[in-house]
């Protein structure tokens, strides 16, 4: 009986683990849009600042200035509607059936959620005056004054829309109501559900906010960056780091900040306002180190310092006959991280063969993040590329980028010696130290996606053994009927940089930033 119950509990755990991972992946779509738009917003926001025009007078040219201001306004619209982006992204990512219907329903559901909370505020007499609404947790979204629930509102609408799509896609109704059956019912049911939630949510929202505020005590402490930065690294192997980041970036867990009488909830909305609207000449620029300590500068520790150090340690510990191959692989991993903020290829080269070393790595990044905070480094934004360092570190004033380089250099030196010692001491089979021949990634380099797809399908036991194919930023995520049919020797020919089974009947295959093209090729082969 015990083992029966244990098996059942494991099955339930797997079910919810799958859903959590899927939810984390669904956040990638809005976050992926925010990254390049944020870059545009950052560049234009910097170049229209008075101090930047004083340094580069040509920026004051009416044509150039008007163009930059216009682009900034357009990009700012995206960030003004982050909850709506989350609604559509979550609906698209979580639904299994008609994703278009799910996205459509999510938009309607989000609007109904906003207006129902607005009606509740009006009916109960809690509607605040426009000049003080931000001080009491209210905001105007799409012309509707409502509770300031930020990205949570979009996520709620997206989840309901996805559920309604999968559950009621083929709903049959009596002939008299047949017009509203099937796909049409999805939007109606979504609106009905969000209406009820919108009425009930104000009663429980204060308790939810209290809980997140309690969590913020940890995040906003002097050692808070250790948990945010180190936690992100630990969540990466499970694909849940986006969910972790969203917690303090878009909710009360990241703190609430009052600027000129307006309350901003979460790190990102506050940072957007200070960085792109107020600028370095504002009195609120002093907030930057307390905001950026949770953002890109943490990631830059990985991409600019830890990764080159880890790559060098792996190169120096590789067997002599494999050093040439390892050199090419390490350079590719480092450059990919520096230019694209994609860290998984290198991280997956040791996370599962040396989990203790990976935990040490996460702690190193956490300690480095705390050190940056203590010396008041203030380098925004979200991504940790070399371009972000140049724009948000070098071009903006008072970012303390010199201290960032000093801390990063010390971290890199320590990381190199720790990794080298650990690999040699415990004979860790990092790239170039395997007993088997090293993997050849020629197919990936040459972008021969069709050939890769054929190998993947064959290595996974054929079409009939593949249940579902999905991907995140760097890896294929595939559900299988029988993992015993997987032939790793065949899969090695595809040039992957990592392979593991996070759960029974589920495999992850890491291909780096080109994984979407591999997934498309696999889908095409499966449809034939």
Task: Report the catalytic residues.
Answer: 472
For residue 362, CA distances in Å to 124, 230, 233, 294 come to 48, 5, 5, 15
Q: Which two tokens stand for residue 318?
A: 């590789």
Which residues 6+ apart lie within 8 Å of 113 measured at CB?
153, 156, 157, 194, 195, 197, 198, 201
Alpha carbon distance 350, 335 (integer Å): 18
Alpha carbon distance 458, 40 (integer Å): 43
Alpha carbon distance 237, 87 (integer Å): 25
User: Which alpha helices (DSSP H) does 375-513 contain, by range?
Assistant: 386-388, 401-425, 442-445, 449-459, 488-492
For residue 334, CA distances in Å to 341, 422, 498 come to 10, 20, 16
CA angle 99, 75, 257 (to 5 degrees): 95
Judge whether 266 and 249 are in contact, CB under 8 Å. Answer: yes
Q: Which two tokens stand for residue 198?
A: 């919108």
Give buried/exposed letters for 293-316 (b at 16+ CB in 10 A, else e): bbbbbbbbbbbbbbbbbbbbbbbe
Alpha carbon distance 216, 122 (integer Å): 31
SS3 317: helix
Backbone phi, then psi, for 469, in 5-degree steps? -120, 130
SS3 355: helix
Alpha carbon distance 368, 408 (integer Å): 7
Alpha carbon distance 253, 185 (integer Å): 36
CA angle 27, 147, 381 (to 5 degrees): 40
SS3 296: helix
DSSP code at position 266: S
Alpha carbon distance 512, 504 (integer Å): 23
The burial class, CB within 10 Å (0-12 / 13-18 / 19+), for 184 is: middle
């Amino acid at each position: 009986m015990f083992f029966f119950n244990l098996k059942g509990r494991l099955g339930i755990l797997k079910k919810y683990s799958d859903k959590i991972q899927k939810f984390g992946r669904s956040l990638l779509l809005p976050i992926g849009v925010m990254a390049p738009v944020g870059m545009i917003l950052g560049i234009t926001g910097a170049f229209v600042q008075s101090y930047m025009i004083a340094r580069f007078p040509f920026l004051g040219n009416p044509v150039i200035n008007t163009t930059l201001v216009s682009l900034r306004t357009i990009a700012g619209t995206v960030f003004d509607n982050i909850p709506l982006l989350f609604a559509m992204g979550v609906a698209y990512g979580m639904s299994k059936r008609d994703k278009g219907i799910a996205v459509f329903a999510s938009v309607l559901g989000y609007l109904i959620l906003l207006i129902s909370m607005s009606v509740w505020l009006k009916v109960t007499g809690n509607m605040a005056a426009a000049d003080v609404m931000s001080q009491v947790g209210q905001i105007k979204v799409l012309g509707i004054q409502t509770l300031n629930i930020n990205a949570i509102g979009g996520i709620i609408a997206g989840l309901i829309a996805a559920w309604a799509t999968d559950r009621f896609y083929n709903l049959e109704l009596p002939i008299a109501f047949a017009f509203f059956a099937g796909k049409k019912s999805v939007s109606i049911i979504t609106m009905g559900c969000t209406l009820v939630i919108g009425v009930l949510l104000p009663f429980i929202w204060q308790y939810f906010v209290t809980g997140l505020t309690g969590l913020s005590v940890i995040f906003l402490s002097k050692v808070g960056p250790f948990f945010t930065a180190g936690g992100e690294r630990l969540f990466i192997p499970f694909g849940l780091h986006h969910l972790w980041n969203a917690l303090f970036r878009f909710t009360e867990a990241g703190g609430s900040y009052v600027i000129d009488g307006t309350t901003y909830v979460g790190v990102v909305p506050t940072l957007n306002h200070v960085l792109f609207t107020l600028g370095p000449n504002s009195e609120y620029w002093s907030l930057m180190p307390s905001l950026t300590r949770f953002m890109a500068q943490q990631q830059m520790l990985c991409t600019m310092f830890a990764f080159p150090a880890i790559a060098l340690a792996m190169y120096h510990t590789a067997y002599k006959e494999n050093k040439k191959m390892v050199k090419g692989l390490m350079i590719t991993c480092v450059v990919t991280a520096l230019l694209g903020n994609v860290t998984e290829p290198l991280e997956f080269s040791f996370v599962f063969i040396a989990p203790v070393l990976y935990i040490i790595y996460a702690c190193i990044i956490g300690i480095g993040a705390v050190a940056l905070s203590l010396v008041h480094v203030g380098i925004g934004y979200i991504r940790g590329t070399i371009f972000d360092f140049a724009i948000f570190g070098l071009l903006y004033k008072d970012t303390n980028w010199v201290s960032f380089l000093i801390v990063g250099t010390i971290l890199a030196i320590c990381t190199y010696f720790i990794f080298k010692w650990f690999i040699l001491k415990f004979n860790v089979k990092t790239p170039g130290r395997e007993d088997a021949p090293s993997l050849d990634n020629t197919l990936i380099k040459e972008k021969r996606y069709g050939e890769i797809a054929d190998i993947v399908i064959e290595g996974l036991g054929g079409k009939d053994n593949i249940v579902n194919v999905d991907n995140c930023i760097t890896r294929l995520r595939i559900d299988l009927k029988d993992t015993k049919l997987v032939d790793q020797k065949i899969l090695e020919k595809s040039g992957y940089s990592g392979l593991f089974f996070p759960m029974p009947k589920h495999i992850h295959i890491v291909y780096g930033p080109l994984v979407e093209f591999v997934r498309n090729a696999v889908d095409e082969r499966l449809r034939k």
